[in-house]
Amino acid sequence: NAGVTQTPKFQVLKTGQSMTLQCAQDMNHEYMSWYRQDPGMGLRLIHYSVGAGITDQGEVPNGYNVSRSTTEDFPLRLLSAAPSQTSVYFCASGTGVYSNQPQHFGDGTRLSIL
Amino acid sequence: RKEVEQDPGPFNVPEGATVAFNCTYSNSASQSFFWYRQDCRKEPKLLMSVYSSGNEDGRFTAQLNRASQYISLLIRDSKLSDSATYLCVVNIPPSGGYNKLIFGAGTRLAVHP
């Protein structure tokens, strides 16, 4: 059971570089989301999607872009990395467009911006 | 005020102890509630959903008090393996958009021999 797969698991970037964090799920879930987790602050929602072609902003969207061209994939793009984006990033998916259902998480991407 | 608030802990308890976590939420229209468990440097995993009538799963009991807008998690007969951070999760109903799940910062539990 693959579930939610995130790549890469670790990444170090220099300030100003761009990169894409990949997220894929094989459970045919409509709802996908990206969170970042910083010490003492819990998980904060960056962007989410309720289906292919539909995305919306979460609590901390600045500096990040997303797209949802397929049900399976929900990549997160950092256009110009900043040290403040050093964090652990989790992708999650769940059932139901108007989701009252729990979400399943990938095992995270640890990102450091120098 | 944060949308979801938890006591950060840590709660240090001996094996066999009973421990209770509380969580408060600010949006009275919230409809879905969950407890997740997160081990150090790992992804959050669903522990249990919280239903209006309260629900139990083995040593774990979750309760919801809508009037006071808080959720609780009770762990009986604590095991060493229960050591983790427990995250309270609340859905935020749509205001022109879609439901969003909001996480509390988590309560850390350390069970010692």
Helices within chain B (DSSP H only): none
> Do B100 and A45 count as a contact with CB atoms less than 8 A apart?
yes
Which position has the token pair 């600010």?
B26
Q: How confident is the model at residue B98 (pLDDT cuts 50, 70, 90)?
A: low
Decide if pLDDT at A98 tops 60. Answer: no
Which DSSP symbol is given to B67?
Answer: T
What does the pLDDT look like over B4-59, one tens digit per residue? 999 888 999 999 999 999 999 998 888 889 999 999 889 999 999 897 878 999 99
Q: Is B42 on the interface with A (CB under 8 A)?
A: yes
b vs e for B59-93, b when ≥16 Cβ sit within 10 Å of the residue's Cβ? ebbbbbeeeeebbbbebeebeeebbbbbbbbbbbb
Structure token digits, residue A114: 């120098």
Question: Tokens in use for A30?
Answer: 């409509």
Task: Dump pLDDT digits (tens) for A18-48.
Answer: 999 999 999 999 889 999 999 877 889 899 9
Confidence of residue A102 (pLDDT cuts 50, 70, 90): confident
Cβ-defined contact of B32 to A56 (cutoff 8 Å): no
Beta bridge partners of B112: B14
Q: Among B37, B32, B27, which residue's Cα sits nearest to residue B107?
A: B37
pLDDT per residue as tens digits for the range B47-96 = 998 978 789 999 999 999 999 999 999 999 999 999 999 999 998 776 65
Query: Which of A48, A104, A107 minimises the CB distance to B42?
Result: A107
Q: Check whether A1 has a pLDDT greater than 90.
A: no
- Work out the mean pLDDT of chain B and round it to a whole number: 90
Q: Helix (H, G, I), strand (E, B), or coil: what is residue B19?
A: strand
Closest-CA distance of chain B to residue A99, Å:
6
Q: Among residues A5, A14, A7, which one has the least CA distance to residue A105?
A: A5
Chain B closest CA to A91's CA: distance in Å?
9
* CA-based R_g, chain A, Å: 13
Is the torsion defined by CA of A47, A26, B103, A84 positive or negative? negative
DSSP label at residue B16: T
Chain A interface includes B96 (CB < 8 A):
no
The secondary structure element, H or E, covering residue B37 is strand B33-38
Give yes or no for residue A97 having a pLDDT over 60: no
Give the number of other Cβ atoms within 10 Å of residue B8's Cβ. 14
Distance in angstroms (rounded) separating the CA atoms of residues B43 and B87: 11
| Residue A75, preceding peptide bond in cis (omega within 30° of 0) | no
Token pair recorded at residue A53: 């072609």
Question: If contacts are CB pairs under 8 Å, which of residues 51-80 in chain B contact chain A?
Answer: none
Residue A69: other Cβ atoms inside 10 A: 10
Question: How close does chain A come to B53, measured CA to CA in Å?
Answer: 17
What is the arithmetic mean of pLDDT over B87-108? 80
Residue in A1, A17, A3 with CA at minimum distance from that of residue A91? A3
pLDDT > 60? residue A94: yes
Residue from the list A35, A50, A102 with its beta carbon closest to the beta carbon of B46: A102
Pairwise CB contact (< 8 Å): B101 & A40: no
Beta-carbon pairs below 8 A across chains A and B: 55
- Average pLDDT rounded to a whole number, residues A107-112: 96
